[in-house]
Amino acid sequence: MAGLYFHIPFCKQACHYCDFHFSTSIKYKDQMISAMQRELILRANELSVPVQTIYFGGGTPSLLSAREIIDLLTVARNHYAVAPDAEITLEANPDDITPLKLQALKEAGINRLSLGIQSFKAEDLTLMNRAHNPDQALQALEDVAELFQNYSVDLIYGLPGQSDADWAQNLRVAQKFDVPHLSCYALTQEPKTALDAFIKKGQLAPLDEVQAQAHYYALLDWAQQHNYSNYEFSNFGKPGFNSRNNTAYWSGHPYLGIGPSAHSYDQKKRSWNKAHNLHYIRDITKNELPSQFEVLSPADHFNEYIMTRLRTAAGVQLDEIAQKFGHSVRTKLYNNALKHLKSGVLVEKGTHLVVTRKGKFLSDGIASDLFLLNLER
């Protein structure tokens, strides 16, 4: 299976924590959609396997009209083997959502919504510079729940001033709506963002990792009580509602990224497009791909396997390591993992190495400790 990703590089305003590529001007939106259609055609030979997931991310994909979404999906279906039952997700902001808009999105082919709420508390939304308010968040959630069976809500924890009670209240709202899927992320201080500047100037308190960790473990307890599977570190699904897009990404399936700054992976190399709207449009107009790539070494493949799989509930499969990289690499990995098994942050489940509850918040550090610089079979 494979995935298609559309990066829609437009936003109404800049969230204080965001370091993704976007523009707050939609002046060139028509040219951008045309260029993305053209990129789909130029790169049609790069995906030869069925496309099971299509994901509109950004940026703010809900700024697109239903017509623009139909145009992109039509080109995708004409040039790629898009499965009839493909999961087609669109990220949406609450302030863009109306019942009419949702109906139009559904008719355009969107069958899963990812609603970027982040918090139901006004002070949190102001701190993050989100464009919506709590009332809009609740109304959007109500409208989405009425029209879409398959949808997700994004929430952020570890915010300056966010108490344990505040975080618990966000989860109570999700519980009230019986949200089928949640993506929950710790706030991070990314370089050159407004949040980064505020913290460095002393206008905001530094992020508190202890607080974020407490919120995450409260989330784990809540999710278990309410029948959510924590199938990947940040993602929680009710039975039958795990995101196919997320699952494919963390399982190492190929994906093709369309649009400025979009990344692609074909299991041999990674590529990424220019993070500049006008340069992207210019190059595509000349039938030139605005991208760079790197061929992955055996060590790169191994390290990415470890990083991605350790974030999942299935963990690292030792037999698959032996099959992909050789028995000597399997032995070396297991020997390197022994100290983590003894400390209780990893556990053996059959032939799988899985991060324990104790190790959840340390999973990226555990993964990097298991990386290999050179791979000798």
CATH of the domain at 306: 1.10.10.920
d(CA 296, CA 304): 10
Instruction: Give the pLDDT of residue 376.
Output: 61
Separation of alpha carbons 348 and 370, rounded Å: 15
CATH of the domain at 96: 3.20.20.70
Is residue 59 reached through a cis peptide bond, with omega within 30 degrees of 0 on the bond before it?
yes
The number of domains in the chain is 2
pLDDT for position 375: 76
Mean pLDDT calculated for residue range 161-184 = 98
Would you say 344 and 360 are in contact if contact means Cβ atoms under 8 Å apart? no
Contact 119, 125 (CB under 8 A): yes
| Separation of alpha carbons 297 and 303, rounded Å | 10
Considering the entire predicted model, what is its pTM? Answer: 0.95
pLDDT at 333 over 80: yes
Check if the beta carbon of residue 270 is closer than 8 Å to that of residue 294. yes
Do 164 and 221 lie in one domain? The reply is yes
Q: Answer yes or no: is 280 within a domain.
A: no
| Calculated CA dihedral for residues 65, 28, 275, 152, nearest 10 degrees | -10
Buried b (16+ CB within 10 A) or exposed e, 299-311: bebbbbbbbbbbb
Q: For residue 145, tell me if it sits in a domain.
A: yes
Answer yes or no: is 273 within a domain.
no
Which pLDDT tens digit goes with each residue over 15-60?
Answer: 999 999 999 999 999 999 999 999 999 999 999 899 999 999 999 9
Query: 244 with 329, same domain?
Result: no
What CA–CA distance (Å, rounded) separates 128 from 324?
43
Q: What is the mean pLDDT of the chain?
A: 96
Question: Does position 377 have pLDDT exceeding 60, yes or no?
Answer: no
- Give the pLDDT band of residue 275 (cuts 50, 70, 90): very high
Same domain, 194 and 307: no
CA count, 13 A, side-chain hemisphere, 250: 21
pLDDT more than 70, % of the chain:
99
Long-range contacts for 339-345 (Cβ within 8 Å, ≥24 apart)?
A: 340/366, 340/369, 340/370
Whether residues 30 and 167 share a domain: the answer is yes
Average pLDDT over residues 340-358: 97
Percent of the chain at pLDDT > 90 equals 97
Is 296 a residue whose pLDDT tops 90?
yes
